[in-house]
Amino acid sequence: MRVLVSAAIAAACIILSNSGFGQDAASPPPATPRANSPDAAGSNTSAVMRTNSMSVLDDKKKLGANDTVSFRVVEDRDNESQRLRVNDNGELEVPYVGLVPAKGKSCKELAYSIKSLLEKEYYYHATVILAVDRVSEKYKGRVYVYGSVKGQGPQEIPPDESYTVSKAIIKAGGFGDFANKRKVKLTRKNGQEFSVDLKRVIEEGHTEEDLELQPDDQIYVPQRLINM
């Protein structure tokens, strides 16, 4: 009788072994699928994704309308950058804080402005990373107007028109009270100088003498001498 029982037990063990019963306990679990590494996605290899320091941000190139930038806050959990565009009014719409003046600022300057706004309400500490993705092809540069005008300072050259000395003066708010309209000085980037008689151009219709402006031109309006 004992021989029959032992034979039955042995046969059962052989059957169970061949059927693979209990294999899950002995076999290692299947490997968990891994997400693609950041290097596999081209968008994650940009400079804005590789740095966590605001000190290395670009402080040279000034942003203009329609420029596109990558934006990221290091402290965010997802650590993903977003592409933002400077609108036609020169503003960047930033998550949480809304429209922020961007035109004429470098990425570094703008990042610190955004940092300050975020830390007022939304973050205890915010490390803002900004980098230029694409410069608008429409940007033609800027000119500088100073002297006897109502609004001195830089002006961007409009992309879709011929921008002349008289147009720059008009954009500057017009002449000052004692401006010498006949001797407006135009200085090119290469040092070449011209004298433009805007009294003839504007009041007498000699528009052919109204010089077209080039990037980095400087326009100076002197004051006329007043006889006492």
Summarised one tens digit per residue, pLDDT across range 111-167 is: 999 999 999 988 999 999 998 887 666 667 889 999 999 999 999 888 777 899 999
CB 212 within 8 A of CB 163: yes
Domains located in the chain, CATH noted: 47-134 (3.30.1950.10), 142-221 (3.10.560.10)
Which helix (H) or strand (E) is 221 found in, with range? strand 218-221
Name every residue whose Cβ is closer than 8 Å to that of residue 43 and which is 6 or more positions away in sequence.
Answer: 81
CB 86 within 8 A of CB 99: no
pLDDT digit string, tens, across residues 164-209: 999 999 999 999 999 999 999 999 999 999 999 999 999 999 999 9
Regarding pTM above 0.85, the answer is no
